[in-house]
C-alpha cells in the first residue's frame, strides 16, 4: 500500500493529530478544571462550571489514553524510553489524573463543604498538572534528554527528575499551561453566562497573552541559545529501524533548519500567532464559539511548531546523540504501522461523529437554575 | 544483570495496580448489560419503575465506573514506565490492540456514559436506550481488545523475532486477533463480569427484601439479576477457559501445574480433585484421583494426551540448550549482520531464543553457562504448583456455589415466592464478595501461572523491566497503594451510603428514604 518511509511520515503526522486532538478536547476540560476554584466563588457556581464538562470529560480523556496506546503501537521505543526515563513526571501526571474521574462523579454526591472543596482542588490538580508537565516534557525534548541504549536496546536514563525542571523546560511548561487555560476559559465562557462568563473571558485574555509571551520567549531562546541536533550520517528513511546506526551532533540553530530549508513550514508558527490573536479578539467581543475554533488552531500551531522544528527527531539524546530517537528509527514494523493507519483512518471519523453528536445533545448554557432542578443527578 | 529486587518490586506494583483495577472492571462489564435490560423493559412497557431501576443502579454503576477509569489509566502507561524493555521488545504486536481498544471501544464507552447520565431529558426514550446499548458494546469491546493483548502474552502467535530490530515483529495480525487463547479468555472473563453485576444487584435487592423496604423495586431487580446471573454463571463454567488451555505450551504448562499433573497419563487423563503437591520430589504426596475426567475437560476428547510437568521439564531442557546457542548466534549477528552462516544457523534455533534468555538471570555472558545452570533455567519454566492448584480450586468451588445460588434464585423467581425465603435472600446477601474473589483468583492463576515469562517462551520477566532504581520503585509502589487505598475507602463509603439509601436517592418522591429537599417531587 504505502512504502515504509511514507508510513513513517504518516505516523509522525498521526501522533501529531492525536496530540492536537488531546489538547483541543481534553485540554478544554483541563482548562476548566484549572479555573474551577477561581471562576466559581460558591458551591452553585462551581457546580455550573463542573457541569459544563460533566458529560464530556470522560470521552475527552480517551484522547490521552489512545495517544498513549498509539505511541506504544507506532513508536514503541519512544513509549519505552520516554515513559521510563520521565518516570516521576509521568507518575505525577497519572496521579493528578486520578482526581478527575472521582472528583467529577463523587464531589456533589455528599452535602459537605469540606468534602466538596477537597474535590474542587483535586479537579484543579487534575486539570492544571498534566498540561504543565507535558509542556515541561516538550521543553526537555527540545533540549535533548540524557539517555542511551546498550547493544540489545535496553534504554538507560541517566538524568534525575529535578533536572527536568530547568528554566527552559519550565518556560515550555508555562506555554503548555497557559494555552490550555486560555482554551478552557474560552470553552467555559461559551457554556456559561453572567458572572462566571465574565470571569472566564477575563481569564482567557490573561492566559492568552501569557501564551503569546511565553511562546515568543521560548522561540527566541531556541534561536539564541545552544539548542538543536542534526544527523550527520546519510539517512535511509526506508531502512529497518535501528537507532544505533546513525551519527548525530549537537548543533546550535539546528531546530531552525527545517524552517530555513522549507519556508512554507513557517505557516505553522504563523498559525500559532494568528490563531491566538484571533481567539483573543473574538473572546473580547463575546464570540465564544469562533474564539474556541481560533484557540484550537493556535494550539495546533504551537504543538506543530515544536514538531516541525525537531523533525525527524522525536527524542534526542543529550549524552549519546547517536542514540537519539527519530521518526525513521524508533518506529514499529511496516505491517504494524499499516494496520494501525487503517484502524485510525476508519475509527477517527466515527469518533469525531459521535463526539459531535454528544456535544450537540448537551449544547446550551449551564445555569444555576438547571443545577437546582437537577440537584440529584447533576455533578 | 538486573537486580532481583527491582524485578520483584516491578511485578508487585503491576500485580497490585492490575488487581485494584479488576475490582471495578467486572462490575462495569456486568452492570452495563443489566442497565440495558432494565431500560429495554422501560422502553417496551413504559413503566416508570424500570426507568427508576435503570437510573438507580446506574448511579451505583457510575460510582464504580469512576474508579475503573482511574485505575485503568495506570495500566495503559505502566508498560512504558515500568516495563520499558518489554514495551520495546513486543510493542510492535502488543501496542496495536491497546491502541485499537482506545479507538474502537473506550472512546465509544466513555462518550456514551456522559449521555447516559446527562441525556435523560434531552434524548427520546429510544435514543437513550441506544446510548446505553452503545455504552455496553463499547465496554465489552474494550475487554475484547485488552484480552487479545493479554492472550498474546500467554500464547504469542502471529509474530517473529527480528535480529535487525532486536524485537518481536508482527507477521499475522489476524492470528493475534483470533488467537484461540484470547477468544476463550474473552468469553470467560466477560461472563465472570456478568456474574459480578448480577450478584451485585441480587445481593442489594435481597437486603431490601430482608428489611421489607422498596419491595416492588427490589423484587423486579432481583428477578432480572437472577435470570441474567444464571445464564452468565453457566457461561463462565461451560465456556470456562480450560478449553483454551490446550492451545500452546504456556497453557499446557499452566494446566499441568494447576492440576498437579506431574506425569503424562494415557488419554484421557485423570483428574486430581484434591492433592498435596510435593514440589521438591515432583509428585503428589496424596491425591484424590478420578480417572478420565481431566482429559475430557481439557481436550474435549478421549484420545488427546495432556503432557505432565516432568515431560514438559525435559522438553524445556532441550529448548534451553538450543536457546543458549540462539543467544550466542544473535550476538554474532548483531556484531556482523552480513554473516550468512550465522544467520542460517540462527534461523534454525531462534524459536528457542527466549529459553536462552532465561539464563541472563544467572550469567552475563553465555560463555559462563554450565549444564547445571541450564537445568536450573529449565526448572524455572515450571510455575509453582501448590499456589496454582489451590487458587484454581477455590475459584471453581466459588463458581459452582454461585451456580447453585443463581439456580435457586431463578427457580424461586419463576415460582414467584423468593421474597418469602429469607435463607435464600441471606445467602445472596452474604455471597456479595464471591465473584470478586473468584475473579482475582482467576487472574492470579492466569498471570502467576505464566511465570517466569512476560511473553511465554519469548521474553523472561526479569529482562522485561525498566532500568529504574529500587528506591523509585519503593516510592511509586507506596504512592499507588496509598492513593488507591484512600480512593477505595471513599468509593466503598459512597457505595454503602447509596445502597442504604436505595432508590430514594433519586429524589423522585416514589420511594422510601427519599433524598431530602422539597423540590424533589417534580419528576
* Set of chain A residues whose Cβ sits within 8 Å of the Cβ of B515: 376
Chain B residues with CB-CB distance to A333 below 8 A: 92, 162, 165, 169-170
Neighbours of A78 (CB within 10 A): 25
- Reported as a pLDDT band with limits 50, 70 and 90, residue A137 is very high
A135 in a domain, yes or no?
A: yes
Task: Using a CB–CB cutoff of 8 Å, tell me whether B519 touches chain A.
Answer: yes
Q: Is the CB of A62 less than 8 angstroms away from the CB of B96?
A: no
Residue A277 lies in a domain: no
Whether B515 shows a pLDDT value over 90: the answer reads: no
| pLDDT of B521 strictly over 60 | no
CB-CB: which of A61, A157, A358 is closest to B115?
A358
A183-206: average pLDDT:
96
How far, in Å, are A23, A27, A103, A122, A292 from residue A127 at the CA level?
12, 8, 11, 9, 18
Would A41 be classed as within a structural domain? Answer: yes
Whole-number pLDDT of residue B520: 40
Kindly identify which residue of chain B lies nearest to residue A340, measuring between CA atoms. B96
- Residue B302 confidence (pLDDT) above 90: no
Whether A362 and B104 lie within 8 Å, measured CB to CB:
no
A342/A344 Cα distance (integer angstroms): 5
Domain total of chain A? 1
Q: Tell me which residues of chain B, numbers 137 to 176, contact chain A at a CB-CB cutoff of 8 Å.
A: 162, 164-167, 169-171, 173
Give mean pLDDT, residues A110-118: 93
Q: Is A335's CB within 8 Å of B173's CB?
A: yes
Strand partners, A148: A156
Q: C-alpha grid cell for residue B522?
A: 417534580
Would you say residue B1 has pLDDT above 80?
no
CB contact under 8 A, B487 and A358: no
Query: What is the pTM (predicted TM-score) of this model?
Result: 0.94
Chain B residue nearest residue A72, CA to CA: B95
Contact B70 A102 (CB under 8 A): yes
Pick from B464, B224, B163: which is nearest to A151 by CA? B163
Q: Report the pLDDT value the prediction gives residue B264, as an integer from 0 to 100.
A: 87
The answer to whether the CB atoms of A375 and B519 lie below 8 A apart is yes
Taking residue B341's Cβ as centre, other Cβ atoms within 10 Å add up to 9
User: Which range, of A19-23, A185-189, B266-270, averages the lowest pLDDT?
Assistant: B266-270
Is residue A272, in this structure, part of any structural domain at all? Answer: no
Q: To the nearest whole percent, how much of chain B has pLDDT over 90?
A: 78
* Angle ∠(A16,A22,A75) on CA atoms, nearest 5: 45
Please give the average per-residue pLDDT across A93-113, as a whole number: 93
CB pairs under 8 A between A and B: 255
Could you tell me if B450 and B456 are in contact, meaning their C-beta atoms sit under 8 angstroms apart? yes
Taking only residues 64 to 83 of chain B, the set having a beta carbon closer than 8 angstroms to any beta carbon of chain A reads 65-67, 69-70, 72-74, 76-77, 79-82
Interface check for B63 against chain A (CB to CB < 8 A): the answer is yes
Determine, yes or no, domain membership for A269.
no
Q: Confidence band (pLDDT; 50, 70, 90) for B297?
A: confident
* Angle (nearest 5°) at CA B169 between B164 and B171: 125
- The C-alpha atoms of residue A28 and residue B98 are separated, in whole angstroms, by 25
Give the span between the Cα atoms of A191 and A50, in whole angstroms: 11
- What is the rounded CA–CA span in Å between residue B418 and residue B408? 9
- ω into residue B452 within 30 of 0, thus cis? yes
Count helices and strands (H / E) in chain A.
13, 6
DSSP for B497-515 reads HHHHHGGGGG--SSSSS--
Residue A91 CB contacts under 8 Å (≥ 6 apart), including other chains: B81, B476, B479
B520 part of contact set with chain A, CB < 8 Å: yes
- Assess contact for A80 and B84: CB atoms under 8 A: yes
Please give the residue of chain A at the shortest CA–CA distance from B480.
A95
Residue of A nearest to B466 (CA): A84
**With an 8 Å Cβ cutoff, is B507 touching chain A?**
yes
Contacts of A358 in chain B (CB under 8 A): 111-112, 114-115
H-helix or E-strand containing A149? strand A147-149
Question: How far is Cα A130 from Cα A128, in angstroms, rounded to an integer?
Answer: 6
Structure confidence at residue B244 (pLDDT): 57
Report CA-CA distances (Å) from B386 to B255, B276, B382. 13, 8, 12
Is B478 in the A-facing interface, judged by CB distances under 8 Å? Answer: no
Which H or E element spans position B4? Answer: helix B4-45
**Per-residue pLDDT tens digits for B168-208:** 999 999 999 999 888 888 999 999 999 999 999 999 999 99
Do residues B51 and B511 lie in contact, with contact meaning Cβ atoms separated by under 8 Å? no
Contact B74 A94 (CB under 8 A): yes
Q: Are the beta carbons of B452 and B360 closer than 8 angstroms? A: no
Q: Please, which residues have CB within 8 angstroms of residue B495's CB and are 6 or more apart in sequence?
A: B60, B63, B64
ipTM score here?
Answer: 0.93
Residue numbers in A near B76 (CB within 8 A): 65, 68-69
Question: Are B67 and A65 an interchain contact pair (Cβ–Cβ within 8 Å)?
Answer: no
pLDDT for position B245:
60
Indicate whether A175 pLDDT > 90: yes
Neighbours of B314 (CB within 10 A): 11
> What's the rounded Cα separation, in Å, for the pair A113 and A121?
12
Query: pLDDT for B109-165, tens place per residue?
Result: 999 999 999 999 999 999 999 999 999 999 999 999 999 999 999 999 999 999 999
A90 contacts on B by Cβ (under 8 Å): 77, 80-81
Query: What residues does A231 pair with on adjacent strands?
Result: A248
CB A255 within 8 A of CB A310: yes
- Measured CA to CA in angstroms, residue B366 lies from B4, B167, B331 at distances of 19, 19, 10
Beta carbons of A332 and B92 less than 8 Å apart: yes
- Partners of B80 on chain A (C-beta within 8 Å) are 68, 72, 79-80, 82-84, 90
- How far is the C-alpha of A47 from the C-alpha of A19, rounded, in Å? 29
- Asked if residue B57 has pLDDT above 80, the reply is yes
- When pLDDT is averaged across residues B308-331 and rounded to a whole number, the result is 94
What's the start-to-end Cα distance of chain B, in Å?
A: 67
User: How far is A315 from A135, CA to CA, in rounded Å?
Assistant: 14
Residue A353 lies in a domain: yes
Contact (Cβ atoms closer than 8 angstroms) between residue A358 and residue B122? no
Q: Is A314 among the domain residues? A: no
* Predicted local confidence at residue B243, as pLDDT: 55
Rounded to a whole number of angstroms, the distance from the CA of B276 to the nearest CA of chain A is 42
Contact list in A for residue B98 (CB cut-off 8 A) is 69, 72-73
The interaxial angle of helices A288-310 and A194-224, nearest 10 deg, is 20
From chain B, pick out residues whose CB is under 8 angstroms from the CB of A148: none
Where is average pLDDT lowest: A102-116, A294-308, B300-314?
A: B300-314
Q: Residue B88: which of A58, A80, A88 has the nearest Cβ?
A: A80
> Which of B91, B119, B167 has the CB atom closest to A361's CB atom?
B119
pLDDT of residue B513: 80
SS3 for B255-267, per residue?
A: HHHHCCCCCCCCC
Whether residue A79 is predicted with pLDDT greater than 60 in this model: the reply is: yes
Instruction: Provide the grid cell at A303.
Output: 504543538
Residue B497: its chain A contacts at CB < 8 A? 109-110
Task: Write down the pLDDT at residue B523.
Answer: 36
Q: Cβ separation of A339 and B505 shorter than 8 Å?
A: no
Task: Name, in order, each residue with C-beta under 8 angstroms of B223's C-beta and a sequence gap of 6 or more.
Answer: B413, B418
Give the integer Cα–Cα distance in Å for A51 and B193.
31
Q: Which of A62, A102, A372 is the closest to B107 by Cβ?
A: A62
Sign of CA dihedral B209, B210, B214, B218: negative
Q: DSSP string covering B83-146, please?
A: -HHHHHHHHHHHHHHHHHIIIIIIHHHHHHHHHHHH-TTTS-HHHHHHHHHHHHHHHHHHHHHH
Which of A91, A156, A355 is opposite residue B476, by nearest beta carbon?
Answer: A91
Confidence of residue A352 (pLDDT cuts 50, 70, 90): very high
pLDDT for res B518: 40
CA distance A105 to chain B (A): 7
Q: What is the dihedral of CA A164, A169, A175, A180, to 10 degrees?
A: -10
Locate B496 and state its grid cell: 454503602
Domain ranges, residue A161:
4-227+331-373
CB contact under 8 A, A109 and B167: no
Yes or no: say if B326 and B333 are a contact pair by the CB < 8 Å rule: no
- Assigned C-alpha cell, B239: 465456556
Q: What average pLDDT does the segment A36-64 reach?
A: 95
Is residue A359 scored above 90 in pLDDT? yes
User: Would you say residue A313 lies in a domain?
Assistant: no
Q: Is the peptide bond before A27 cis (omega within 30 degrees of 0)?
A: no
Question: What is the average pLDDT across B449-475?
Answer: 94
Query: Which residue is closest to A242 within chain B, CA to CA?
Result: B165
**Do residue A362 and residue B114 have CB atoms under 8 angstroms apart?**
yes
Q: If pLDDT is split at 50, 70 and 90, which confidence band does B237 have?
A: confident
Contacts of A59 in chain B (CB under 8 A): 107, 110-111, 113-114
* pLDDT, position B241: 56
Q: Do B479 and A373 touch (CB under 8 A)?
A: no
Q: Which residue of A has its CA nearest to B515?
A: A376
Task: With a cut of 90, say whether residue B2 has pLDDT above it.
Answer: no
Distance CA B453, CA B51 (A): 48
Amino acid at each position: 500500500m504505502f512504502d515504509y518511509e511514507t508510513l513513517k511520515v504518516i505516523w509522525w503526522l498521526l501522533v501529531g493529530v492525536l496530540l492536537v486532538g488531546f489538547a483541543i478536547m481534553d485540554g478544554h476540560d483541563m482548562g476548566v478544571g484549572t479555573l474551577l476554584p477561581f471562576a466559581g466563588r460558591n458551591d452553585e457556581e462551581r457546580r455550573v462550571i463542573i457541569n459544563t464538562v460533566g458529560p464530556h470529560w470522560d470521552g475527552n480523556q480517551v484522547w490521552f489514553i489512545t495517544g498513549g496506546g498509539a505511541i506504544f503501537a507506532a513508536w514503541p521505543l519512544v513509549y519505552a524510553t520516554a515513559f521510563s526515563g520521565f518516570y516521576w513526571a509521568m507518575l505525577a501526571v497519572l496521579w493528578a489524573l486520578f482526581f478527575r474521574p472521582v472528583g467529577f462523579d463523587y464531589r456533589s454526591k455528599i452535602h459537605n463543604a469540606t468534602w466538596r472543596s477537597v474535590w474542587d482542588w483535586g479537579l484543579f490538580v487534575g486539570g492544571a498538572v498534566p498540561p504543565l508537565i507535558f509542556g515541561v516534557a516538550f521543553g526537555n525534548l527540545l533540549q535533548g534528554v540524557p539517555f542511551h541504549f546498550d547493544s540489545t536496546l535496553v534504554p538507560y536514563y541517566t538524568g534525575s527528575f529535578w533536572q527536568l525542571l530547568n528554566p527552559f523546560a519550565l518556560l515550555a511548561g508555562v506555554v503548555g499551561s497557559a494555552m490550555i487555560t486560555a482554551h478552557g476559559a474560552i470553552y467555559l465562557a461559551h457554556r456559561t453566562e453572567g458572572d462566571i462568563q465574565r470571569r472566564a473571558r477575563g481569564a482567557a485574555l490573561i492566559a492568552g497573552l501569557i501564551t503569546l509571551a511565553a511562546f515568543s520567549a521560548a522561540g527566541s531562546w531556541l534561536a539564541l541559545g545552544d539548542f538543536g541536533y542534526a544527523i550527520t550520517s546519510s539517512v535511509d528513511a526506508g531502512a529497518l529501524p535501528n537507532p544505533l546506526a546513525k551519527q548525530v551532533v549537537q548543533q546550535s540553530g539546528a531546530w531552525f533548519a527545517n524552517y530555513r530549508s522549507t519556508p512554507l513550514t513557517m505557516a505553522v508558527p504563523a498559525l500559532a500567532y494568528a490563531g491566538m490573536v484571533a481567539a483573543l479578539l473574538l473572546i473580547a467581543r463575546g464570540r465564544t464559539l469562533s474564539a474556541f475554533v481560533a484557540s484550537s488552531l493556535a494550539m495546533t500551531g504551537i504543538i506543530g511548531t515544536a514538531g516541525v522544528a525537531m523533525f525527524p527527531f522525536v527524542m534526542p539524546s543529550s549524552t549519546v546523540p547517536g542514540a537519539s530517537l527519530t521518526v525513521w528509527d524508533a518506529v514499529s514494523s511496516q505491517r504494524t504501522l499499516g494496520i494501525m493507519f487503517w484502524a485510525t483512518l476508519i475509527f477517527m471519523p466515527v469518533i469525531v461523529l459521535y463526539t459531535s453528536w454528544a456535544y450537540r445533545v448537551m449544547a446550551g448554557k449551564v445555569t444555576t437554575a438547571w443545577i437546582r432542578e437537577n440537584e440529584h443527578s447533576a455533578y | 544483570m538486573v537486580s532481583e529486587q527491582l524485578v520483584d518490586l516491578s511485578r508487585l506494583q503491576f500485580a497490585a495496580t492490575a488487581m485494584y483495577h479488576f475490582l471495578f472492571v467486572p462490575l462495569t462489564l456486568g452492570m452495563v448489560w443489566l442497565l440495558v435490560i432494565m431500560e429495554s423493559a422501560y422502553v417496551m412497557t413504559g413503566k416508570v419503575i424500570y426507568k427508576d431501576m435503570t437510573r438507580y443502579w446506574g448511579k451505583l454503576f457510575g460510582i464504580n465506573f469512576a474508579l475503573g477509569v482511574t485505575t485503568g489509566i495506570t495500566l495503559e502507561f505502566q508498560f512504558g514506565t515500568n516495563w520499558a524493555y518489554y514495551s520495546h521488545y513486543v510493542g510492535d504486536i502488543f501496542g496495536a490492540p491497546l491502541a485499537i481498544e482506545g479507538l474502537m471501544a473506550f472512546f465509544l464507552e466513555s462518550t456514551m456514559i456522559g449521555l447516559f447520565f446527562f441525556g435523560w431529558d434531552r434524548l427520546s426514550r429510544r435514543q437513550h436506550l441506544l446510548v446505553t446499548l452503545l455504552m455496553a458494546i463499547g465496554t465489552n469491546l474494550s475487554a475484547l481488545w485488552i484480552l487479545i493483548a493479554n492472550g498474546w502474552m500467554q500464547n504469542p502467535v502471529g509474530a517473529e523475532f527480528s535480529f535487525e530490530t532486536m524485537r518481536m515483529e508482527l507477521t499475522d495480525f489476524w492470528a493475534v486477533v483470533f488467537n484461540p487463547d484470547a477468544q476463550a479468555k474473552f468469553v470467560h472473563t466477560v461472563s465472570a463480569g456478568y456474574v459480578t453485576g448480577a450478584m451485585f444487584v441480587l445481593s442489594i435487592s435481597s437486603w431490601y427484601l430482608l428489611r421489607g423496604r422498596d419491595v416492588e423495586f427490589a423484587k423486579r431487580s432481583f428477578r432480572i439479576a437472577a435470570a441474567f446471573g444464571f445464564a452468565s454463571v453457566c457461561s463462565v463454567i461451560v465456556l470456562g477457559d480450560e478449553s483454551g488451555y490446550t492451545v500452546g505450551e504456556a497453557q499446557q504448562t499452566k494446566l499441568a501445574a494447576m492440576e498437579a499433573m506431574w506425569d503424562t497419563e494415557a488419554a484421557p487423563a485423570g483428574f486430581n480433585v484434591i492433592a498435596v503437591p510435593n514440589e521438591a520430589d515432583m509428585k503428589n504426596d496424596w491425591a484424590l484421583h478420578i480417572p478420565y475426567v481431566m482429559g475430557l475437560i481439557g481436550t474435549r476428547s478421549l484420545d488427546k494426551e495432556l503432557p505432565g510437568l516432568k515431560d514438559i521439564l525435559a522438553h524445556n531442557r532441550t529448548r534451553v540448550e538450543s536457546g543458549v546457542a540462539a543467544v550466542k548466534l544473535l550476538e554474532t549477528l548483531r556484531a556482523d549482520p552480513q554473516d550468512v552462516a550465522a544467520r542460517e544457523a540462527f534461523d534454525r534455533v531462534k524459536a528457542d531464543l527466549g529459553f536462552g534468555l532465561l539464563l541472563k538471570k544467572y550469567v552475563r555472558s553465555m560463555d559462563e553457562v554450565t549444564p547445571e545452570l541450564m537445568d536450573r533455567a529449565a526448572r524455572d519454566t515450571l510455575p509453582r504448583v501448590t499456589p496454582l492448584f489451590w487458587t484454581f480450586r477455590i475459584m471453581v468451588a466459588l463458581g459452582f456455589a454461585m451456580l447453585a445460588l443463581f439456580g435457586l434464585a431463578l427457580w424461586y423467581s419463576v415460582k414467584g415466592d423468593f421474597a418469602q425465603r429469607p435463607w435464600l435472600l441471606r445467602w445472596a446477601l452474604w455471597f456479595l464478595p464471591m465473584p470478586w474473589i473468584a475473579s482475582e483468583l482467576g487472574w492470579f492463576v492466569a498471570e502467576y501461572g505464566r511465570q517466569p515469562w512476560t511473553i511465554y517462551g519469548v521474553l523472561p520477566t526479569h529482562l522485561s523491566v525498566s532500568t529504574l532504581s529500587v528506591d523509585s520503585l519503593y516510592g511509586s509502589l507506596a504512592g499507588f497503594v496509598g492513593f488507591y487505598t484512600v480512593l477505595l475507602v471513599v468509593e466503598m463509603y459512597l457505595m454503602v451510603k447509596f445502597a442504604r439509601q436505595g432508590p430514594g436517592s433519586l429524589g423522585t418522591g416514589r420511594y422510601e428514604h427519599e433524598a431530602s429537599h422539597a423540590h424533589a417531587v417534580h419528576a
